[in-house]
Structure 1
């Protein structure tokens, strides 16, 4: 028998292999009929049932619990596949939803198998501390709240910008990733990485500043970049101060 932490890692590894390394529902052409979708989803759920049942038998030698764990994981795999759409517009949200359900289910199986459910509240209590909550709040704030603030500040110039040829929502996603990276670098006190990121983006987006047709767009992007960096660095410094004071 393996120890508790090793069991959790093995279960997570099994899910990654089953979910992403073997043919899954997403690997097939989207079925035209709901019955086809049900059949494919049942096959995948069956694989989960067999795999997790065998794992629990081998790693915990508890046949009574093993098949229940396998059935639970099979249901956790089957229901999201049926209930979430497979269209390209919602593929990211559907993938995240399916993975969240599976990870939560897998952790629940692990907690019950290890009789750790009673200690789960203790673990959560340790997580809900001021430093950890401050870091979590900072990362959340760097997404939509920061994006909304930057958009509001830049709104007077939005009509002057020609965005033809740009990828839909690419700027928003770049802004999210940029602020999360900067916040991480500041919290880790890696100022060289912050400078490198600023230099790299400035070169990439300002390389056509001599072209009058894109000058306004380049200036707009540069303004957004500086606002994004300022907010991220300021939030990082604030959280660092909170962490050091605790």
Structure 2
């Protein structure tokens, strides 16, 4: 895959993000949600995406016919997808992710037609099915929900002695998952000093809160959970780096 074809794909993604998040006024979104297919803003937004894609394809050297056809496909699909989204709850994350995924699939399909070959898909499939890639994906998966459950079970003997009503529901588990993903990435990049900095920063943030509550059991429980989470992730990360990351 040449640098030119890669640049074209990146350009298409760039103008999509610009059109959806930088060049779309809030009043367009409100109009679409209120008036649905009768909203002029919906047509303006779809047309803007078509024009942006047209410019990218022309700059990439595509023929006028192909660029115009691609622009029409993008504009029409964007109109249809956003029309469907206008009938859904805009405050739900899964609808937002589905909306963006559909737009990106359209762009990817158009790009694959333009490069006229399956080489990018073949290369992506070869990378995805490589043992090292699968091993890394397995490692990242392990530090999410599976490790959360393992830590919860390990701490169960002490959980009955701890009452912490001042926290968000399930926030601790989600923070732990994000923390382990970050630690794992740092370990794979051989940035162990940054792991120490992260642990120190978390300790500082939690220290004031725990000190004000003067709850020694809660302090010990949080410390135990944090050290267990970090330790397991460090061991798993070092093992993964040795096996899949080239040592």
TM over 0.5: yes
Deviations 1:62-111 (A, max 9, x none): 222223322332344334434443443x2x32332222222232222112
Which region of structure 1 is more displaced relative to structure 2, 160-169 or 199-208? 160-169
Which region of structure 1 is more displaced relative to structure 2, 141-150 or 189-198? 141-150
Which region of structure 1 is more displaced relative to structure 2, 57-66 or 170-179? 57-66
TM-score normalised by L of structure 2: 0.82
Query: What is the rounded CA distance, in whole Å, between the counterparts of 1:30 and 1:218 in structure 2?
Result: 50
Residues 43, 233 of structure 1: alpha-carbon distance in 2 compared, 3 angstrom cutoff: same
- Quote how far apart the aligned CAs of 1:207 are: 3.5
Partner of 2:238: 237
- Quote how far apart the aligned CAs of 1:134 are: 0.9
Residues 191, 61 of structure 1: alpha-carbon distance in 2 compared, 3 angstrom cutoff: closer
Partner of 1:44: 45
Partner of 2:4: 3
Residues 41, 217 of structure 1: alpha-carbon distance in 2 compared, 3 angstrom cutoff: farther
Q: Is the 8 A contact 1:30 1:86 kept in 2?
A: no
Which region of structure 1 is more displaced relative to structure 2, 42-51 or 211-220? 211-220
The RMSD of aligned alpha carbons is 2.9
Q: Does the alignment pair 1:217 with 2:241?
A: no
Partner of 1:198: 199
Equivalence map 1:118-157=2 (5 Å): 118-157=119-158
Q: Is the 8 A contact 2:81 2:102 kept in 1?
A: yes
- Quote how far apart the aligned CAs of 1:193 are: 0.8
- How many residues are aligned here? 242
SS of residue paired to 1:60: coil
Residues 25, 130 of structure 1: alpha-carbon distance in 2 compared, 3 angstrom cutoff: farther
- Quote how far apart the aligned CAs of 1:201 are: 1.2
TM-score normalised by L of structure 1: 0.83
Residues 162, 51 of structure 1: alpha-carbon distance in 2 compared, 3 angstrom cutoff: same
